[in-house]
Structure 1
Amino acid sequence: MRLLRSTDLALRLLMRLAATPDPNPTTRDVAAAMDVPYTHAAKVVAELQHMGLLTARRGRGGGLALTEKGRTASVGELVRTFEGEGDVVDCEGTATTAACPLSPACRLRGALRQAQEAFYASLDPLTIADLTTDPTGPLLLTISKRP
């Protein structure tokens, strides 16, 4: 299974905020340190803010801050939210492609859905705080791109 780039960025961004000693880095600072486009980071920040996992303030003294909910958020729930409710495979077809002829009696789709849920379930007990305990948190800060 492959994660969307936005899911990967959301996880790394939250981990970075949990590990950083810098109080309230800006979205631009975090995007530069993680070597990702600012526009992508801004979209992910907006979604994480909407979820209540971080706060973002503009202006002097502003920046990003991880909320308590962000520290204790389930990694599995975060991945589910960013990945969406879709199936691993698309069996329905579109305007240009036909639906799979096996759809009425297919066992693969159910097996893949079960495997996907097992993947998420294995991430459910993990929190962002769990992912940034030593030695990961300090190491995370050393591998950042330097301006």
Structure 2
Amino acid sequence: MQLTSFTDYGLRALIYMASLPTGHMTNITEVTEIYGVSRNHMVKIVNQLSREGFILTTRGKNGGIRLAMPAEKIVVGEVVRRLEPLQLVNCETCAITPACRLRGILNNAVQIFLKELDNYTLADLVRENHPLYKILLPEPGAHPAR
């Protein structure tokens, strides 16, 4: 299974925010520069992450984005469920749909995939991940107090 770039960069944006000190605000420009993704694409991702309740956005001069809850409460499987269109095949126009067993097998595979992702939180991805801190937070002392 391959995630869409939307989900991929949504997870990456969350990883970046989780690697920052607790409560620290960042902004879309910072995230787009780190990952080299278009600002327009990241704006859409951030809007969806906000609508889904994973991040908080604040407008204005002192505005920005940050996690809406502790990283320990953000389950990777739930993020994928909310961002990813999980339909692997389109059975609506297929002639063999009434007799096909493939759809059930693929649905089971997706459920197993998500169940595995449910074993991990955003905190698991960033906790004491010093190589990640060096990449995302190059300034000395910028890593989170986790």
CA distance in 1, matches of 2:53, 2:106: 31
Per-residue deviation, 1:133: 1.4
Describe the shift of the 1:107–1:116 C-alpha distance in structure 2 as closer, same or farther (beyond 3 A).
same
Q: Report if the CA contact (8 A) 1:53-1:70 is conserved.
A: no
The yes-or-no answer on 1:123 pairing with 2:117 is: yes
Identity of aligned residues (%): 35
Aligned to 2:44: 43
Q: With structure 2 as the length reference, what TM-score do the two structures score?
A: 0.83
Structure 2 unaligned spans of 5+: 139-146
Describe the shift of the 1:140–1:121 C-alpha distance in structure 2 as closer, same or farther (beyond 3 A).
farther
Per-residue deviation, 1:43: 0.6
Of 120-129 and 62-71, more deviation after overlay is shown by 62-71
Could you list the structure 1 runs, at least 4 aligned residues long, displaced by more than 6 angstroms after superposition: none
Q: Report if the CA contact (8 A) 1:28-1:38 is conserved.
A: yes
The yes-or-no answer on 1:52 pairing with 2:53 is: yes
Per-residue deviation, 1:71: 4.6
Code of the aligned partner of 2:97: S
Q: Report if the CA contact (8 A) 2:58-2:65 is conserved.
A: yes
CA distance in 1, matches of 2:25, 2:137: 18
CA distance in 2, matches of 1:37, 1:102: 41
Tell me, what secondary structure is at the counterpart of 2:47? helix
Number of residue pairs matched by the alignment: 136
Q: With structure 1 as the length reference, what TM-score do the two structures score?
A: 0.83
Matches within 5 A, 1:1-147: 1-21=1-21, 23-68=24-69, 71-84=72-85, 86-93=86-93, 99=94, 101-135=95-129, 137-141=132-136
RMSD of equivalent CA atoms:
2.0
CA distance in 2, matches of 1:89, 1:133: 36
Per-residue deviation, 1:23: 2.8
